[in-house]
């Protein structure tokens, strides 16, 4: 073979090898609703600041969104949140976008893990170029993500992260429309006291089943302290997030002979525990049980917990009969998409989180994150959860207002109720509101009492 032909074959062989290597290389993850080309454009350096662009009028305004869409996160919760946030983005675009510009919602999967939350928030800000972020389910993700938001000066409106420290650190960038964990624990214990004092329930010992997370640990500690103050003993058992087999824990719970069980494990793990406890004779039809809020996803609940009747479930938000016009319109659209008769509280909050960011951009007339933060501090937004404000802020600090730092950038008025399944297979919309009495639609059914 002559030299020319030899060189030709070498070039062809190298070209084929390069193509094979490229095909085997790992592909970049597509994040939420973003197209790959848009991700590359957001990540690439620009020669001039955005305000010097010839025409920004039709460039999309990018808003990030956090949801647990795979295990060990609470997937049923994440899927509900995603649907509600998509509805928000579509509503915004159907009415002309924000400041005449289309909205691009970029939804990312946090998996319920803090390290994943950190990574996806960094990507949303530094690659996708979002100007604000909504959603968020797990407190551990919120605790981690708040640091990324602060470092980059981009606001996050958290929808469902309860850990008190998320707001008590008083970062300019962090806002929350979910309730505070300590406030929820206070309602839980008041309900337990009410069962004892007003309904004659025997209540000497409570077992708490919690997860080893930034939600579960402080929630269990708060509940324990408040129960102790009420003269009720408690024992806590903790498990890792996403636990599937509770056999060993359940035997230890049985040995305690509890008068009530409080479940502070989230997502599908709560289904596993509740049904396995029922199989062992200490389920909600044997021992009064507070089940996790994902139990209000009734189709998934009854599929996974067929022996879940009589569960008490904490519900954030007003009863359906008290929904405002925004909530009613949202329920109608959500129901048409999902086939559900009602919408979960965390889905409502997720919808509101996106709408809050949108209104803050409109109010400020700017996509500069610092201007959005200023507008959020002064916002008065009528959301699905009701009128939303953040009265404790840089102009009215916790010290000035005489309140605990946890109220910083915190929506102060989320309603908290306790409902109970009282018919096997019952839809969540038909559950009985048993507490507080102002919202009560029926009396509690107390099981297992002599």
- Indicate the pLDDT class of residue 101, thresholds 50, 70 and 90: very high
290 and 244 belong to one structural domain: yes
Q: Is pLDDT of 141 > 50?
A: yes
Inside any domain, residue 448: no
58-93 core/surface letters (b: 16 or more CB in 10 A; e: else): eebbbbbbbbbbebbbbbbbbbbbbbbbbbbbebbb
d(CA 157, CA 140): 15
Q: The CATH number of the domain where 282 resides is what?
A: 3.40.50.2300
136 and 283 belong to one structural domain: no
pTM exceeding the 0.85 threshold for the entire prediction:
no
237 and 272 belong to one structural domain: yes
299 and 432 belong to one structural domain: yes
316 and 423 belong to one structural domain: yes
Beta strand 386-388 pairing with 381-383: antiparallel
Q: How far is CA 236 from the centre of its chain?
A: 24
- Indicate the pLDDT class of residue 403, thresholds 50, 70 and 90: very high
Mean per-residue pLDDT of the chain: 88
The per-residue pLDDT for range 316-364, each reduced to its tens digit, is: 888 887 899 999 999 999 999 999 988 999 999 999 999 999 999 999 9
Q: Is 433 helix (H, G, I), strand (E, B) or coil?
A: strand
How many domains does the structure of the chain reveal? 2
pLDDT for 241 equals: 86
Inside any domain, residue 427: yes
403 and 352 belong to one structural domain: yes
Inside any domain, residue 31: no
Percent of the chain's residues with pLDDT above 70:
87
423 and 281 belong to one structural domain: yes
**Worst-scoring range by mean pLDDT, 54-58, 160-164, 213-217, 242-246?**
54-58
d(CA 269, CA 246): 9
Q: Are 87 and 330 in contact (CB under 8 A)?
A: yes
Q: Are 262 and 223 in contact (CB under 8 A)?
A: yes
Inside any domain, residue 145: yes
Percent of the chain's residues with pLDDT above 90:
80
Inside any domain, residue 51: no
Q: Is pLDDT of 386 > 50?
A: yes
The per-residue pLDDT for range 264-301, each reduced to its tens digit, is: 998 889 999 999 999 999 999 999 999 998 899 899 99
251 and 166 belong to one structural domain: no
Q: Give the H/E segment covering residue 67.
A: strand 61-67
186 and 66 belong to one structural domain: no
Inside any domain, residue 29: no
Q: Residue 300 is part of which domain span? A: 182-321+415-439
DSSP bridge pairs for 382: 387
74 and 100 belong to one structural domain: yes
197 and 310 belong to one structural domain: yes
d(CA 11, CA 17): 10
Inside any domain, residue 114: yes
283 and 397 belong to one structural domain: no
Inside any domain, residue 14: no
Complete DSSP assignment for 168-194: HT--TTEEE-SPPHHHHHHHHHHHHHH
- Indicate the pLDDT class of residue 57, thresholds 50, 70 and 90: low
Nearest to 422 by CA among 404, 410, 440: 440
């Amino acid at each position: 073979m002559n030299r020319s032909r030899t060189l030709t074959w070498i070039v062809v062989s190298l070209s084929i090898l390069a193509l094979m290597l490229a095909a085997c290389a790992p592909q970049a993850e597509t994040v939420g609703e973003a197209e790959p080309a848009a991700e590359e454009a957001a990540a690439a350096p620009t020669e001039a600041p955005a305000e010097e662009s010839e025409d920004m009028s039709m460039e999309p305004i990018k808003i990030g969104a956090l949801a647990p869409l795979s295990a060990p996160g609470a997937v049923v919760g994440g899927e509900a949140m995603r649907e509600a946030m998509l509805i928000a983005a579509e509503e915004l675009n159907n009415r002309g976008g924000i400041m005449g510009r289309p909205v691009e919602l970029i939804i990312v999967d946090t998996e319920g893990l803090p390290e994943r939350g950190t990574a996806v928030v960094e990507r949303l800000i530094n690659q996708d170029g979002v100007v604000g972020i909504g959603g968020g389910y797990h407190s551990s993700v919120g605790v981690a993500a708040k640091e990324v938001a602060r470092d980059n000066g981009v606001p996050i409106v958290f929808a469902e992260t309860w850990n008190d420290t998320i707001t008590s650190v008083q970062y300019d960038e962090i806002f929350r429309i979910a309730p505070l964990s300590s406030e929820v624990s206070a309602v839980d214990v008041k309900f337990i006291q009410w069962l004892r004092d007003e309904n004659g329930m025997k209540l000497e010992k409570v077992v708490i089943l919690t997860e080893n997370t930034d939600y579960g640990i402080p929630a269990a500690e708060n509940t324990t302290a408040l129960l102790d103050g009420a003269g009720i003993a408690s024992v806590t058992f903790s498990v890792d997030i996403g636990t599937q087999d509770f056999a060993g824990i359940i035997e230890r719970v049985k040995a305690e002979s509890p008068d009530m069980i409080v479940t502070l494990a989230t997502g599908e793990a709560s289904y596993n525990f509740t049904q396995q406890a029922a199989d062992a004779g200490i389920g909600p039809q044997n021992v009064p049980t507070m089940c996790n809020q994902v139990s209000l996803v009734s189709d998934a609940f009854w599929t996974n917990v067929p022996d879940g009747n009589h569960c008490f479930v904490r519900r954030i938000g007003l009863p359906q009969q008290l929904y405002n016009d925004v909530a009613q319109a949202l329920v109608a659209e959500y129901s048409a998409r999902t086939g559900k008769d009602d919408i979960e509280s965390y889905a409502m909050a997720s919808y509101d989180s996106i709408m809050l960011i949108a209104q803050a951009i409109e109010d400020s007339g700017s996509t500069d994150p610092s201007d959005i933060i200023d507008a959020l501090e002064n916002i008065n937004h009528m959301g699905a959860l009701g009128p939303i404000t953040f009265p404790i802020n840089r102009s009215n600090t916790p010290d000035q207002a005489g309140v605990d730092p946890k109220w910083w950038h915190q929506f102060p008025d989320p309603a908290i109720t306790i409902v109970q399944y009282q018919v096997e297979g019952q839809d969540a919309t038909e559950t009985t509101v048993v507490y507080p009495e102002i919202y009560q639609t029926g009396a509690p059914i107390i099981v297992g009492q002599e």
